[in-house]
């Protein structure tokens, strides 16, 4: 047994850092990943491309079909003015009723606020600069769709926080709002595609800025809505240099 002790000690020393990394490592959900740009990039790029190069070929025929073949002179149905905020309420509220979320309530609120500031600034600037007439001729603030970007912003937050189980429902609401913006003749197809992409993108902006903002403002992680943070456990083997006895150091960080 004493002959095996040095070999065992050496193996523990070599594998200790690996074991420590495997046990203590936590996934940083706020990190930037290029794949997060795929969906918003496709939607936003498609909306811009149609708006700039295929408005008469795509936007106008789609709008004509919706108004003449589907709506057929029916009165406006403006429930989309209200359900656009439902995904945002889901993002902030589901965790409070016991649904497992990625972040605690304070973090979700901060993440939403950071994304909302980005979305509001970008969407308002685009509407003012692009100066696109609405299909109903009310004004020239059609591109992108404000209702659509806000509801897709909320839907992506729900998906990131609670997964696709709840996210699918939030995205169904978002898609309904986008369709109704066309049905009610307030937006072109390209407006809604760009709005959806912008909303998803700025939801990730809030995610990316969350941890840097918390560090900058010294905001602690406060878990009081049922979100249990995993403890970091470190098991580090050591060897007494005099006796050759193998020791173990256990550290738990809550």
* pLDDT tens profile 170-199: 999 999 999 999 999 999 999 999 999 999
Residue 222 lies in a domain: no
pLDDT of residue 244: 61
Residues 236 and 141 in one domain: no
Residues 15 and 53 in one domain: no
**Nearest CA to 51 among 125, 121, 126, 120?**
126
Low-confidence ranges of the chain (pLDDT < 50): 1-27, 228-235, 252-254
Residues 33 and 18 in one domain: no
pLDDT of residue 14: 36
pLDDT of residue 49: 97
Tell me which H or E stretch contains 248.
strand 246-253
Q: How many domains, in total, are found in the chain?
A: 2
Q: How far apart are alpha carbons 79 and 68 in whole angstroms?
A: 21
Q: Which domain holds residue 206?
A: 29-217
Residue 208 lies in a domain: yes
Q: Nearest 5 degrees, angle CA 40-CA 57-CA 190?
A: 25
Neighbours of 232 (CB within 10 A): 14
Residues 53 and 149 in one domain: yes
* Secondary structure (H, E, C), 53-98: HCHHHHHHHHHHHHHHHHHCCCCCCCCHHHHCCHHHHHHHHHHHHC
pLDDT of residue 31: 77
pLDDT of residue 4: 40
HSE toward the beta carbon, residue 24, CA cutoff 13 A: 15
The answer to whether the CB of 150 falls within 8 A of the CB of 177 is: no
Strand partners, 132: 141
Question: Which residues does 114 contact at the CB level (< 8 Å), separation at least 6?
Answer: 205, 206, 209, 210, 213
Residues 84 and 103 in one domain: yes
pLDDT of residue 6: 43
Residue 223 lies in a domain: no
Residues 141 and 247 in one domain: no
């Amino acid at each position: 047994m004493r002959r095996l002790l040095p070999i065992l000690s050496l193996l523990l020393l070599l594998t200790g850092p690996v074991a420590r990394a495997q046990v203590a490592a936590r996934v940083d959900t706020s990190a930037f990943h290029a794949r997060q740009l795929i969906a918003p990039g496709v939607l936003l790029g498609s909306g811009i491309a149609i708006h700039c190069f295929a408005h008469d070929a795509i936007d106008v025929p789609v709008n004509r079909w919706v108004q003449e073949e589907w709506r057929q002179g029916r009165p406006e149905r403006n429930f989309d003015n209200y359900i656009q905020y439902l995904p945002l309420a889901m993002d902030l509220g589901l965790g409070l009723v016991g649904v497992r979320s990625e972040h605690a309530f304070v973090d979700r609120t901060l993440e939403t606020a950071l994304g909302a500031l980005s979305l509001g600034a970008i969407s308002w600037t685009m509407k003012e600069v692009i100066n696109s007439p609405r299909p109903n001729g009310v004004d020239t603030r059609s591109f992108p769709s404000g209702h659509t970007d806000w509801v897709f912003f909320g839907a992506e937050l729900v998906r990131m926080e609670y997964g696709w189980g709840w996210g699918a429902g939030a995205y169904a609401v978002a898609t309904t709002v986008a369709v109704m913006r066309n049905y009610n003749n307030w937006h072109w197809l390209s407006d809604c595609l760009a709005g959806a992409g912008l909303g998803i993108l700025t939801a990730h902006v809030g995610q990316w800025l969350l941890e840097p903002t918390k560090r900058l403002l010294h905001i602690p992680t406060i878990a009081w809505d049922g979100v249990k943070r995993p403890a970091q456990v470190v098991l580090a083997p050591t060897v007494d240099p005099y006796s050759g006895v193998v020791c173990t150091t256990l550290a738990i960080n809550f």
